[in-house]
Amino acid sequence: MTQTGLRFRPPWWGMLLAAAGCAAGIALGDWQLRRAEEKRATAGVPSLVLRGEFLPKYTVFLDNKLRRGRPGYEVVQPFRIAGDGTVLVNRGWIAAGPSRAQLPQIRTPAGEVRLEGVRRDHFARAYEPSGAQPEGAVWLNVTPERFSAVAGVGVEAWVFEQHSNLDDGLARDWPSVEPGAEKNEAYAFQWYSLAALSLVLLIVLGFKRDKNPS
């Protein structure tokens, strides 16, 4: 006579896949929720005028920015406000060249300029693997804190999105940030569901039936 029972004995590769699926689902779900919050938080922000000069020595190229299907960069430079500190400015988008080894040339006006644009709490964030670090002038994300630490230049805690035209060849057809928050929340739910499904599959497939003689 035999007795049968269930024992939880998942294979090592199953546990590894479940952990990876769960971690990826949670990370991407959190990122989609942050994007939804950004879209709601930046709706209806009034325009602002700044006077000062750019500091092109500290230019940052935000990577993986697409415009009409073309790869490129968004150009961020510190801007020394006349008599009132320094702020990071997203100047606009420029197409990538044929080789990533050579960054595009940016035309930066010298001397004092007048900027029109929008004050933001932060720039839009792209998904960035944990522990990723900037590579030279090419970054995935830039925050005032990270910029100050890397460049050694103190900047304001807020950032600025340039809307005025300086005849610099940069595109500033900024995407609307208000609509689409619900879509990001739906994507977040899908990623969280993937994380939950990874755990469910691990539990269901990890139980094995034993047969013990008695």
* pLDDT per residue as tens digits for the range 80-126: 999 889 999 999 999 998 888 889 999 999 999 999 999 998 998 88
**pLDDT computed for residue 44 by the predictor:** 58
Contact 25, 192 (CB under 8 A): yes
Residues in the chain predicted with pLDDT less than 70, given as ranges, are: 1-5, 41-45, 175-180, 209-214
Cα–Cα distance, 75 to 109 (Å, whole number):
14
Contact 72, 98 (CB under 8 A): no
**pLDDT computed for residue 155 by the predictor:** 97
DSSP, collapsed to helix, strand or coil, labels residue 84 as coil
**pLDDT computed for residue 1 by the predictor:** 46
The pTM of the full predicted model, rounded to 2 decimals, is: 0.63
**pLDDT computed for residue 42 by the predictor:** 64
C-alpha to C-alpha distances, 158 to 31, 68, 140, 144, 213, nearest whole angstrom: 20, 28, 18, 7, 71
- Calculate the CA 36 to chain-centre distance: 12
